[in-house]
Chain A
Amino acid sequence: MAANDNQPDVKIVNERHNPTVAALLSIIPGFGQMYNKRYWKGATLFILFAAFIGVMYGFIADGLQGLITLGETPRDDDSRIFLSYGILSLIFLTFFISFYVLNIIDARKDAKRIQLGWEVPDLRQGFKNAWDTGFPYYLVAPGLFLLIFVVIFPLLFMVFLAFTNYNLYNAPPRNLLQWVGFDNFVRLFTINEWRNTFFNVLSWTLIWTFVATTLQIGLALFLAIIVNDKRVKGKRLIRTVFILPWAVPAFVTIIIFSALFNDNFGAINRDIIVPLFGSGIPWMSDPFWAKVALIMIQTWLGFPFVFALFTGVLQSISADWYEAADIDGANRWQKFSNITFPHVMFATAPLLIMQYAGNFNNFNIIYLFNQGGPPVRGQVAGGTDILISWVYGLTFENQQFNMAAAISIILGLIVVVFAFLWFRRTRSFKEEGNI
């Protein structure tokens, strides 16, 4: 383990101070720092680590053991509690390991600097340096800590549940949970009822996400450009009106729409469709029309936000661009596709991706409109159920926590992968816009 990373043009001052030794000594935290003659720092580190091990060793060891066994005697041991303690132990262990590694790296780094003739600062100076360099970390630390326990912990709990047999028939506290590996995922793709339903629901979910979101964005873009035209009078009033669907709580709107779309008694069939066409459209009883109705409602609910977004962006496009285009003899379409559209997309792409992700998991509208109905013969999930509303049913009506968790993981992965690819793609706008 010779330190062969000494650059030849650097003059070694302290030949005998060896970074490798410092790193090896730091296997017991603090000792490497002492070797570097930073006694206070070394002592503090050693005490901190010793204290952590002394206090947490029992908890972490028990926690990890519980995570593996998930309890031994039903009734006395609650597997869910073992699982959460296990996850907590894992988090603490991760903390510990990362600090441990940092301490070794730190000892080695200091030793190298001493080799090159760096003077070890005195205690006060050391504190000052630590404060100056570490300031951003001190600021972020409380938030990070909170994030870990509020976001990461429940997520991990869900992920772990997907690998257990937690359903009604094995429910704690009467029973212990077991680890079942990838069984739930395997069942999802091999058992016919699961597989058929899953793929039916998945395909509609993707169609729904794509069509509903694209429509709401398209409508918003169209309206924003029209309203932004110089010749339109009363812009403020028009904008206010267009923002209204966003201002009314969606919960209320959806329930009202659900009544409006009723096949026999809803105003849409009664007062509009029947007088015009002679017979009503089966909005609530035919899966196809129910889907059409949902997409229309979502477009109506979703466009104001995007509209407001686009309006802001459009106003920020400099008029010089259009003037230059006019001089070059560009027509309307060319101006739109080469100036307006790239500008708008560049500025709002991340938010639009969020819109897609939001609709992918838009539980409210599906559930409130008609609980995922109408029924489809020979299928378990309803005609308009999307994955998230189906998972809801599994969890709350059938208590199949394990399957619900497994499907949720797949849901999460889909969203993450799509968002990742999209974010990558939106860079192309960057290069084009060159802003």
Chain B
Amino acid sequence: MFKGKFLLTLMMMLVLSIALVACGGGDDDAPADPDTDENGEDAGEEAEGEAQADSDAPEKPESLDMWVNDEDSQLDAYEEITQRFEDEHGIEINITPFSMLDQTEAVSLDGSSGQGPDLFFQPHDRMGDIVLQGLAAELELTADQEERLSEYNEEAVTAFSYEGIQYGIPAVVETYALFYNTDLVEEAPQTLDELMEIADSLTDASADEYGFLMEATNLYFAYPFLTGAGGYIFNQDADGAYDTEDIGLDNEGAVEGAALIQSWFEDGYMPTGIDGDVMNGLFQDGKVGAVITGPWAIPDYRDALGDSLAVAMLPEWDGDQLNSFSGNKGWLVSEYSEDKYWATELALFITNAESSETYYETAGELPAHTAVEIDDEFMGPIFEQTQVAEPMPNVPEMSQVWEPVSDALQFISQGEDPQEVMEEAVEQIRDQIAIMGQ
């Protein structure tokens, strides 16, 4: 392996590192110089499809490792996508199926011994944990890469930054929307008032018939209503960094939202103890006009309702489009990767418009790249909703928010005073954050 070419490689490395220093994209805590001990590919590559300044790029590694979540459809999609990357750049991509949920632990334990991947795949709300554990590398994007990243969903890109520093490239975005049964609701309600009219006219609790149901005591789904009138979880600065001291869940807007949710229970539009199973069951029995849920429900709903199923964006509240909570998943470059530049290139390639389209067609997940056309009647409106969706805060402190707020919503559904309950919840969140770790 290392016979005659070894010297040559050394020479090339020298030349390249000089080139690197010359273009001066250096940062002090991550050496941009890839100190590989492998033979580089012969640099006589043909011109790239995407006008890249390949001469400025570090030397190409022989191969890159990526961990793909172990679902067949996702693996198939990435097999196809990475094949294109190989054809284009001549870098071999090794895909290892690896459950998304176990990846961070594995990177943390195996990364230092060089057995980790170059790229791994994570939901954005784990960002804080990942950065605190020091698993993801800070991305040093070239101007050209920045350019390409600007075509992505801005919120999703921000979701992969932490304290203003970009650590990942978003791949998919998931959020929820309004699903309705056209037998009961002819046209999607445009405003909250229309939705309430539907609830009012269709609800007959004694016969288990409801106009509008949602998991109202779950913060994930209740978010648009809590924040629609000016509530917020953690205040965000211009860079997208969160200020965890500044919690806006007990301000006027949030309490207004909480009171709105309470009114649904008081008016009998929603039964207490409503949960996902009950909601899905009743909706599939054709007894509910509209529900709020995500794309994961489409297969079951379609089987149950057939052509009567339709999807729309969430309605407007006082003239403002309701946002929604989104979960993004994306690619992170491992801190232990020896070819961070090319790993970043790969991450950008597998999430670009063309790849995203392939991925959507094979794995059925909505892209974070905005240039993709989604013309599916169900996925289309959800994709539109992702454009106005707000990512869940990616700070670790968020883990302390879910339960107190969901508990608070439960108390509210039982008729307790919204103002009092929300203040209590915020206090609890503060207490919990305080004891999270000194």
Chain B positions 407 through 436: 1 when the CB is less than 8 Å from some CB of chain A, otherwise 0: 100110010000001001000100110111
Binding site for B on A (CB under 8 A): 74-76, 78, 80, 165, 167-175, 187, 191, 193-194, 259, 262-265, 284-285, 374-375, 377-378, 380, 397-400
Q: In angstroms, how far is the closest chain A Cβ from the Cβ of B203?
A: 13
Kindly state whether residue B108 has any CB partner on chain A within 8 Å: yes
- Complex: how many Å from CA A167 to CA B435? 11
Determine if A191 and B435 form an interchain contact, defined as CB atoms under 8 angstroms apart.
yes
Q: In the complex, what residue of chain B is closest to A74 when comparing beta carbons?
A: B134
Q: What B residues does A397 contact at CB under 8 A?
A: 399
- Complex: how many Å from CA A175 to CA B132? 9
Q: A168-B133, A173-B135, A264-B273 are in contact. List 17 more A-B contacts (CB 8 A).
A: A169-B132, A169-B437, A170-B437, A171-B108, A171-B134, A172-B133, A193-B432, A262-B278, A265-B278, A285-B272, A285-B414, A375-B411, A377-B421, A377-B424, A380-B428, A397-B399, A400-B436
Q: What A residues does B277 contact at CB under 8 A?
A: 259
Determine if B410 and A374 form an interchain contact, defined as CB atoms under 8 angstroms apart.
yes
Determine if B437 and A400 form an interchain contact, defined as CB atoms under 8 angstroms apart.
yes
Q: In angstroms, how far is the closest chain B Cβ from the Cβ of A54?
A: 27
Chain B positions 394 through 411: 1 when the CB is less than 8 Å from some CB of chain A, otherwise 0: 001001100100110011
Determine if A264 and B132 form an interchain contact, defined as CB atoms under 8 angstroms apart.
no
Which of B109, B274, B396 meets A168, CB within 8 Å?
A: B396
Kindly state whether residue B318 has any CB partner on chain A within 8 Å: no
Determine if B435 and A399 form an interchain contact, defined as CB atoms under 8 angstroms apart.
no
Contact A375/B133 with A262-B278, A263-B272, A397-B399 known, Cβ cut-off 8 Å: no
Q: What A residues does B52 contact at CB under 8 A?
A: none
19 pairs across A/B with beta carbons < 8 Å? A165-B437, A167-B436, A168-B132, A172-B108, A174-B132, A187-B435, A193-B432, A264-B271, A264-B278, A285-B410, A285-B414, A374-B410, A375-B403, A375-B406, A377-B407, A377-B424, A378-B428, A398-B436, A399-B396
- Complex: how many Å from CA A165 to CA B134? 17
Q: What A residues does B396 contact at CB under 8 A?
A: 168, 399
- Complex: how many Å from CA A187 to CA B437? 11
Q: In angstroms, how far is the closest chain B Cβ from the Cβ of A307?
A: 32
Q: What A residues does B129 contact at CB under 8 A?
A: 168, 171, 399
Interface range on chain B (Cβ under 8 Å from partner)? 35 or more
- Complex: how many Å from CA A400 to CA B435? 10
Determine if B273 and A265 form an interchain contact, defined as CB atoms under 8 angstroms apart.
yes
Q: In angstroms, how far is the closest chain B Cβ from the Cβ of A99?
A: 33
Q: Which of B100-144 contact A (CB under 8 A)?
A: 108-109, 111-112, 129, 132-135
Q: Main SS of the interface on chain B? A: helix
Which of A75, A80, A191 meets B134, CB within 8 Å?
A: A75
Determine if B431 and A193 form an interchain contact, defined as CB atoms under 8 angstroms apart.
yes
- Complex: how many Å from CA A168 to CA B130? 9
Q: In the complex, what residue of chain A is closest to B428 when comparing beta carbons?
A: A380
- Complex: how many Å from CA A373 to CA B72? 35
Q: What A residues does B436 contact at CB under 8 A?
A: 167-169, 398, 400
- Complex: how many Å from CA A80 to CA B112? 12
Q: What B residues does A172 contact at CB under 8 A?
A: 108, 133
Q: In the complex, what residue of chain A is closest to B408 when comparing beta carbons?
A: A375
Chain B positions 271 through 285: 1 when the CB is less than 8 Å from some CB of chain A, otherwise 0: 111110110010000
Chain B positions 329 through 365: 1 when the CB is less than 8 Å from some CB of chain A, otherwise 0: 0000000000000000000000000000000000000
Q: In the complex, what residue of chain A is closest to B407 when comparing beta carbons?
A: A375
Determine if B437 and A174 form an interchain contact, defined as CB atoms under 8 angstroms apart.
no
Contact A171/B273 with A285-B414, A375-B411, A398-B400 known, Cβ cut-off 8 Å: no
Determine if A263 and B112 form an interchain contact, defined as CB atoms under 8 angstroms apart.
no
For the complex of A and B, the 10 pairs showing the least CB-CB separation, nearest first, are A174-B134, A375-B407, A263-B273, A169-B437, A167-B437, A264-B271, A171-B133, A264-B273, A265-B278, A193-B431
Q: In angstroms, how far is the closest chain B Cβ from the Cβ of A278?
A: 14
Determine if A173 and B112 form an interchain contact, defined as CB atoms under 8 angstroms apart.
yes
Q: What B residues does A76 contact at CB under 8 A?
A: 112
- Complex: how many Å from CA A175 to CA B274? 44
Q: In angstroms, how far is the closest chain B Cβ from the Cβ of A279?
A: 13
Which of A167, A173, A262, A374 meets B108, CB within 8 Å?
A: A173
Determine if B273 and A78 form an interchain contact, defined as CB atoms under 8 angstroms apart.
no
Q: In angstroms, how far is the closest chain A Cβ from the Cβ of B144?
A: 30
Determine if B134 and A264 form an interchain contact, defined as CB atoms under 8 angstroms apart.
no
- Complex: how many Å from CA A193 to CA B132? 24
Determine if B399 and A285 form an interchain contact, defined as CB atoms under 8 angstroms apart.
no
- Complex: how many Å from CA A395 to CA B155? 30
- Complex: how many Å from CA A383 to CA B127? 31
Q: In the complex, what residue of chain A is closest to B133 when comparing beta carbons?
A: A171
- Complex: how many Å from CA A170 to CA B436? 11
Q: In the complex, what residue of chain B is closest to A180 when comparing beta carbons?
A: B438
- Complex: how many Å from CA A377 to CA B421? 9
Determine if B437 and A284 form an interchain contact, defined as CB atoms under 8 angstroms apart.
no
Q: What B residues does A380 contact at CB under 8 A?
A: 428, 431-432
Which of A78, A167, A262, A378 meets B424, CB within 8 Å?
A: A378
Determine if A285 and B273 form an interchain contact, defined as CB atoms under 8 angstroms apart.
yes
Q: What A residues does B424 contact at CB under 8 A?
A: 377-378
- Complex: how many Å from CA A74 to CA B403? 33
Q: In angstroms, how far is the closest chain A Cβ from the Cβ of B103?
A: 15
- Complex: how many Å from CA A27 to CA B434? 55
- Complex: how many Å from CA A167 to CA B403? 20
- Complex: how many Å from CA A80 to CA B410? 40
- Complex: how many Å from CA A399 to CA B126? 12
- Complex: how many Å from CA A285 to CA B217? 12
Q: What A residues does B273 contact at CB under 8 A?
A: 262-265, 284-285
Q: In angstroms, how far is the closest chain A Cβ from the Cβ of B315?
A: 26
Most chain-B CB neighbours within 10 Å: which of A78, A175, A375? A375
